[in-house]
């Protein structure tokens, strides 16, 4: 464990209290905790690169923390009916396709490292933005609620980029499988 991995671990530790806060409809605190978690997402990578502390554990822990944070947030917000079920299904299905595809590629070709794509990173940012939007929409932190007006844009942005990035990962995976069979 190094500094960057410890910062990443803070995201994992934030998940249970975040779910409890959302379930209790304590949106002000949930928004602040989620914002803290998002900051750790940017900070851990910056620390790892600056201190030359990129590790195999960090390469697994960082995306795992992101997925756990986002999927848990989407599920919790869907359970209390502040995010529609259809968007949670889309987000979850995309993640299952990515993780399942990576596992299949690993089993069939031995390739371990698959870098995140630009559309994939954009999708993660939009997903985080949607969660923040919903938390702020339901909080008392702002008197003027622009969040209600922003929510449809974030919902459909998440849908569109989930489809684009998911399709990109599928195409990448199929190409890797095809290339992997040619290498054997």
Residue whose C-alpha is closest to residue 166's, from 117, 76, 94, 115: 94
Average pLDDT over residues 138-150: 81
**Helix 56-79 crosses helix 27-50 at what angle (to 10 degrees)?**
170
Q: Which domain holds residue 46?
A: 3-183
**What is the CATH number for 30?**
1.20.120.1760
Average pLDDT for the chain: 90
- Could you tell me the pTM of the whole model? 0.90
> Does residue 144 surpass a pLDDT of 60?
yes
Give the C-alpha distances (Å, rounded to integers) separating 61 from 36, 84, 86.
17, 28, 28
Alpha-carbon distance of 123 to 137, in angstroms, equals 21
Domain count across the chain:
1
- Note the pLDDT tens digit of each residue in 7-65: 999 999 999 999 999 999 999 999 999 999 999 988 998 998 899 888 888 888 888 89
Q: Percent of the chain beyond pLDDT 70?
A: 96
Q: What is the pLDDT of residue 7?
A: 93
């Amino acid at each position: 464990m190094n500094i960057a991995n410890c910062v990443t671990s803070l995201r994992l530790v934030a998940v249970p209290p975040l779910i409890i806060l959302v379930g209790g409809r304590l949106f002000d605190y949930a928004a602040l905790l989620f914002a803290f978690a998002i900051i750790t997402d940017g900070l851990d990578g910056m620390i790892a690169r600056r201190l030359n502390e990129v590790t195999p554990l960090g390469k697994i822990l960082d995306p795992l923390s992101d997925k756990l944070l986002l999927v848990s947030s989407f599920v919790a917000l869907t359970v209390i009916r502040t995010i529609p079920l259809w968007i949670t299904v889309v987000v979850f299905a995309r993640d299952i396709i990515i993780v399942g595809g990576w596992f299949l590629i690993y089993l069939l070709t031995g390739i371990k490292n698959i870098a995140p794509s630009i559309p994939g990173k954009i999708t993660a940012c939009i997903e985080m933005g949607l969660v923040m939007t919903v938390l702020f929409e339901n909080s008392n932190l702002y008197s003027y609620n622009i969040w209600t007006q922003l929510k449809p844009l974030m919902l459909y942005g998440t849908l569109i980029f989930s489809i684009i990035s998911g399709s990109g990962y599928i195409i990448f995976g199929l190409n890797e499988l095809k290339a992997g069979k040619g290498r054997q």
